[in-house]
Amino acid sequence: MLTTVAAFDRIGEENAFAVLARATTLAAQGRDIINLGIGQPDFRTPEHIVEAAVKALKDGQHGYTPSVGIQPLREAVARDLHKRFDVEVDPGLVMIMPGGKVTMYAAILLFGEPGAEILYPDPGFPIYRSMIEYTGATPIPVPIREENGFAFSAEETLALITPKTRLLIINSPANPTGGVTPKAEIDKLVKGLADHPHVALMSDEIYDQFLFDGERHQTLLAYPEIRDRLILLNGWSKTYAMTGWRLGYSIWPQALYDKVRKLSVNAWSCVNAATQYAGIAALEGPQEPVAAMLAEFDKRRRLVVEGLNALPGVTCAKPKGAFYAFPNVSRTGWTSAKALASALLEDAGVATIGGPDFGVHGEGYIRLSYANSAENIARALERMGAFLSERK
Ligand code: PLP
């Protein structure tokens, strides 16, 4: 890795934050902006979780914790994974992180260097590519295609592996497409990876509870044959509406765990103690608030998809997961999806993200987060309809 100013110049950004800033500026100027840009639940963190943090603070939990996280939280993570997926996880391999993002940062730092190749989904979460470029490694996009239900194709992914490949990043349910990779395809991928023992895997499962139409999550933890090279990313941000708390976790192979522990000691020391106690309350407390939030997301998903398909030139496949719709806008008359997203914000007051912000294969699409009220979604669709009828 090149720890130079030039390397920092290669770091990219998450355009969702820039869109949020612009939307906030326009709103401050008195414009009525409907934000379908940002990827965070519009729900409050459930009350019992907030109370657990307040209690921890009042009880005097004000100091550093072990860098890998407090033991009861690591045990709660292992229990939760066992309960939901019937998988065995050693709490000693669980690392508590300040958000899910930090796991990808650590994983990519571990494997990225000039000459190495790292495979990542395109369109996909933009930080994958940004961090790969920072390390000097070569980013190799794995195309995620609409005609394939926005799922990974095991065959296409495996065909991109070379002797230089060090890490494969997968994400299901996926941002920005809402795609879910079926179990059969994951089975095939894992089977194929047996021929490539030099490739590590990072599975970003942060949306693992955001599944609709009876879909079930297939965790990569369920495959013992790859556990010695699997990094699992997950966290509280989305499931418990805790994006601003900065709480995530990862499961590491034994051989990597201590390396990442040292990085954490050097870089962030630990997650603040009160938040970690809130994390225990989230996993072990009532899950009804999660179910209620998911039911609401499902309603909005139907509304968004139906509304989008009624817009001129727009088609939208029904996403099976996450809380995003990724409509195809290539027949609207707009050849640049980024220009369309920008015009929608400036002229129609609807914030979305252009597909190319998620990779080259995102051209022709925009991302709408349906983390907004049904009423606002309906208003946004109306505005988009009027805009697209006038401006081609
Ligand atoms: N992974 C994916 C696919 C995401 O969409 C996000 C957030 O948008 C993250 C990871 C990061 O989550 P966190 O807020 O916990 O860092």
Q: How far apart are CA 124 and CA 178, in angstroms?
A: 10
Identify the band that residue 15 occupies on the pLDDT scale cut at 50, 70 and 90.
Answer: confident
Same domain, 24 and 170: no
Instruction: Decide the pairing of beta strands 117-122 and 138-143.
Output: parallel
User: Is residue 49 in a domain?
Assistant: no
Fill in the DSSP letter of residue 173: S
178 lines ligand 1 (CB under 6 A): no
Count of domains observed in the chain: 2
User: Is residue 56 in a domain?
Assistant: no
The stretch 204-233 carries a mean pLDDT of: 97
- Report the range of poorest mean pLDDT among 33-42, 120-129, 139-148: 33-42
The stretch 113-138 carries a mean pLDDT of: 97
State both tokens at 10. Answer: 């290669």
Nearest ligand 1 atom to the CA of 101 is 16
User: Is residue 357 in a domain?
Assistant: yes
Task: Write out the residue range of the structural domain in which residue 25 sits.
Answer: 5-44+288-387
The stretch 52-70 carries a mean pLDDT of: 98
Query: What is the distance in A from the centroid of ligand 1 to the CA of 295?
Result: 21
Same domain, 189 and 158: yes
Domain boundary among 265, 284, 303: 284
238 lines ligand 1 (CB under 6 A): no
Same domain, 83 and 203: yes
Give the residue among 212, 147, 209, 215 at the shortest CA–CA distance from 186: 215
Query: What is the distance in A from the centroid of ligand 1 to the CA of 265?
Result: 22
Same domain, 127 and 17: no
CATH number at residue 180: 3.40.640.10
Same domain, 324 and 369: yes
Same domain, 279 and 132: yes
User: Is residue 252 in a domain?
Assistant: yes
The CB-side HSE value for 270 (13 A sphere, CA atoms) comes to 16
Q: What local confidence, expressed as pLDDT, does residue 38 receive? A: 84
Residue 103 makes CB contacts below 8 A (sequence gap 6+) with 95, 97, 202, 231, 233, 235, 248, 249, 250
E-strand ranges in the chain read 34-35, 94-97, 117-122, 138-143, 165-171, 200-204, 230-235, 248-251, 324-325, 350-351, 353-354, 366-369
99 lines ligand 1 (CB under 6 A): yes
Same domain, 365 and 270: no
CATH number at residue 312: 3.90.1150.10
Q: Is residue 338 packed enough to be buried (19+ CB in 10 Å), middle (13-18) or exposed (0-12)?
A: middle
Nearest ligand 1 atom to the CA of 235 is 15
Same domain, 296 and 336: yes
State both tokens at 137. Answer: 């490694």
319 lines ligand 1 (CB under 6 A): no
**Ligand 1 pocket test: which of 19, 238, 367 has the largest number of ligand atoms within 8 Å of its C-beta?**
238
Across-strand partners of 278? none
**318-347: per-residue pLDDT in tens?**
999 999 999 999 999 999 999 999 999 999
Q: pTM for the whole thing?
A: 0.96
Same domain, 176 and 123: yes
Measured by CA distance, the residue closest to atom 7 of ligand 1 is 39
Instruction: Decide the pairing of beta strands 165-171 and 117-122.
Output: parallel
Q: What local confidence, expressed as pLDDT, does residue 16 receive? A: 83
**4-14: per-residue pLDDT in tens?**
788 888 888 88
Same domain, 102 and 132: yes
- Report the range of poorest mean pLDDT among 8-22, 66-80, 342-356, 376-390: 8-22
Domain boundary among 229, 251, 284: 284
Domain boundary among 243, 260, 284: 284
Q: What local confidence, expressed as pLDDT, does residue 14 receive? A: 81
Same domain, 219 and 82: yes
User: Is residue 59 in a domain?
Assistant: no
User: Is residue 369 in a domain?
Assistant: yes
Same domain, 274 and 294: no
14 lines ligand 1 (CB under 6 A): no
User: Is residue 182 in a domain?
Assistant: yes
Position 2 pLDDT exceeds 60: no
